[in-house]
Amino acid sequence: MSGRRFVVVGASLAGLRAVEAARKSGFDGPITLIGAEPHLPYDRPPLSKAFLDGADLPAFRGEEVLRDELGAELVLGTAATALDTTAGTVHAGEREFGYDALVIATGARARTLQGTDGLRGVHTLRTRDDAQAVRRALDAGARTVVVGAGFIGSEVASAARKRGRDVTIVEALPTPLVRAVGQTMGAACAALHTRAGTDLRCGVGVEAVEGAGTVERVRLTDGTVLAADLVVAGIGAVPATGWLAGSGLTLDDGVVCDETLFTGAPGVYAAGDVARWHNPMFGRHMRLEHWTSAAEQGAVAARNALDPAVAKPYSTVPYFWSDWYGSRIQFVGVPATDEVRVVDGGPGGDHFVALYREGDRLAGALTLNGQTQIMKYRGLIARGAAWTQGLEFAGRRRSAAMERV
């Protein structure tokens, strides 16, 4: 396989796993890893969790491991600007990189609040630099306003409360997390904020973020004015596909791929938050912003790009987790809307399990502090379990718990 050139664009989890998988599969040709951030690949979930509480954030691998053991040329702090699928080249910085196999793993970038460019104290939370700035502000005792009651925003609020700081979350929709977990369970998760002393305001928008050079206040659409030294926008992310304009790849909320993560251009595969691929497990295209799928797709995309003749599909039951106020929220599958049933605990309590039905199939499960149950549902969903099987399993769990009491 030597002589062929493998290029990975995007030096986060999916990109790193692509490099590692290439070497594990026996590829001994040159590898180039191109990343927009100046940092070595690092882990993102801790940025809004342990890192905000003061934990260290080491890089995934040291520079010598990447360079010497994995034999990758590192081109960091250099955003890719163009892809030519006919010539087989990637442009980044002042250079042009020819490839025979390419994995696109440029991830997503955080949406920003309109009209806040250059205003100090206003941040998103996507990168190590973002997280460092937010942590410094929290350390300094900032009055904090979080815009968006999604997972990132909720974790920031949780970190602020952990330090005993007052924090307000402003959410434009009447109920948070509806797209992620549905109406009822979105409300159940939101109740955690209120119980922890976070001021959650739903159904109200941000009119303006104001300040002279540094943020001073947030003006809401209902006329309320919130004093603020730190504003964190957790209003979603958009796939980083701007550099692929004109490449001929199909772009539609991400790089559209088939079930093997193939983009349709020779040798070009995509992985991680940027990829919208056909997930055979649910028979539909999806784009995930989850740790597990990014890691796994990175590896699959690399193996498939280097040996397309035997390309394998990537099929998965999506999984994500989020930590709020010492509680763990976990979700597996898809948040189907045909029916959502709470099968254990209650939406107002410290523990619950909710199941999601699509047709007659068990499609998803959400738990709050249900760590011992969540993966059993992931297994059921992966095996294509019927809704009734999900309910039966839940019934057996409840009976077993009753016997233990």
Partner 1 sequence: MKIIVDWNRCTGLGICESLAPGVFEVDDAGDLVLLSETVSDGDLEGVRQAVEGCPTEALRLEP
Minimum Å gap between C-beta 126 and partner 1 is 18
89 binds partner 1 (CB under 8 A): no
Q: One symbol per residue from 185 to 204: x for binding partner 1 (CB under 8 A), - otherwise; what is it?
A: --------------------
Region from 182-190, 250-258, 354-362, 369-377 binding partner 1, contact rule CB under 8 A: 369-377
Contact 45, 110 (CB under 8 A): no
162 binds partner 1 (CB under 8 A): no
**Residue labelled with tokens 């497990």:** 281
| 3-state secondary structure labels for all residues of the chain | CCCCCEEEECCCHHHHHHHHHHHHCCCCCCEEEECCCCCCCECCHHHHCHHHHCCCCCECCCHHHHHHHCCEEEECCCCEEEEECCCCEEEECCEEEECCEEEECCCEEECCCCCCCCCECEEECCCHHHHHHHHHHHHCCCCEEEECCCHHHHHHHHHHHHCCCCEEEEECCCCCCHHHHCHHHHHHHHHHHHHCCCEEEECCCEEEEECCCECCEEEECCCCEEECCEEEECCCEEECCHHHCCCCCCECCCEECCCCCECCCCCEEECHHHEEEEECCCCEEECCCCHHHHHHHHHHHHHHHHCHHHCCCCCCCCEEEEEECCEEEEEEECCCCCEEEEEEECCCCCCEEEEEEECCEEEEEEEECCHHHHHHHHHHHHCCCEHHHHHHHHHHHHHHHHHHC
Region from 99-107, 257-265, 268-276, 289-297 binding partner 1, contact rule CB under 8 A: 289-297
Region for residue 211 given its phi and psi (left: phi exceeds 0; alpha: psi -120 to 50; beta: otherwise): left
Region from 122-130, 242-250, 302-310, 365-373 binding partner 1, contact rule CB under 8 A: 365-373
Q: One symbol per residue from 239 to 278: x for binding partner 1 (CB under 8 A), - otherwise; what is it?
A: ----------------------------------------
382 binds partner 1 (CB under 8 A): yes
- Cβ distance to partner 1 smaller for residue 91 or 320: 320
Region from 74-82, 136-144, 192-200, 370-378 binding partner 1, contact rule CB under 8 A: 370-378
Region from 235-243, 290-298, 300-308, 340-348 binding partner 1, contact rule CB under 8 A: 290-298
Alpha-carbon distance 105 to 11, whole Å?
Answer: 7
Choose, by CB under 8 A, the member of 48, 127, 304, 330 that binds partner 1.
330
Minimum Å gap between C-beta 114 and partner 1 is 34
Choose, by CB under 8 A, the member of 372, 400, 403, 405 that binds partner 1.
372
Choose, by CB under 8 A, the member of 97, 321, 352, 387 that binds partner 1.
321
Which residues within the stretch 32-71 sit at the binding site for partner 1 (CB under 8 A)? 43, 45
The pair of three-digit structure tokens given for residue 308, joined into one six-digit string: 């397309």
Choose, by CB under 8 A, the member of 369, 385, 391, 398 that binds partner 1.
369
75 binds partner 1 (CB under 8 A): no
Minimum Å gap between C-beta 201 and partner 1 is 31
Region from 155-163, 181-189, 215-223, 325-333 binding partner 1, contact rule CB under 8 A: 325-333
Minimum Å gap between C-beta 186 and partner 1 is 22
- Cβ distance to partner 1 smaller for residue 43 or 259: 43
- Cβ distance to partner 1 smaller for residue 295 or 305: 295
Closest CA to 204 of 179, 229, 221: 221
Minimum Å gap between C-beta 372 and partner 1 is 5
Choose, by CB under 8 A, the member of 371, 384, 388, 395 that binds partner 1.
371
Give the binding-site size for partner 1 (rule: CB under 8 A): 22
User: How far does CA 235 lie from the centroid of its chain?
Assistant: 13
- Cβ distance to partner 1 smaller for residue 278 or 378: 378
Burial class (CB in 10 A: 0-12, 13-18, 19+), 309: exposed
Minimum Å gap between C-beta 49 and partner 1 is 9
How do 327-333 and 361-368 pair as beta strands? Answer: antiparallel
User: Which positions lie near partner 1, rule CB under 8 A?
Assistant: 43, 45, 291-292, 295-296, 299, 317, 319, 321, 328, 330, 332, 369, 371-372, 374-376, 378-379, 382
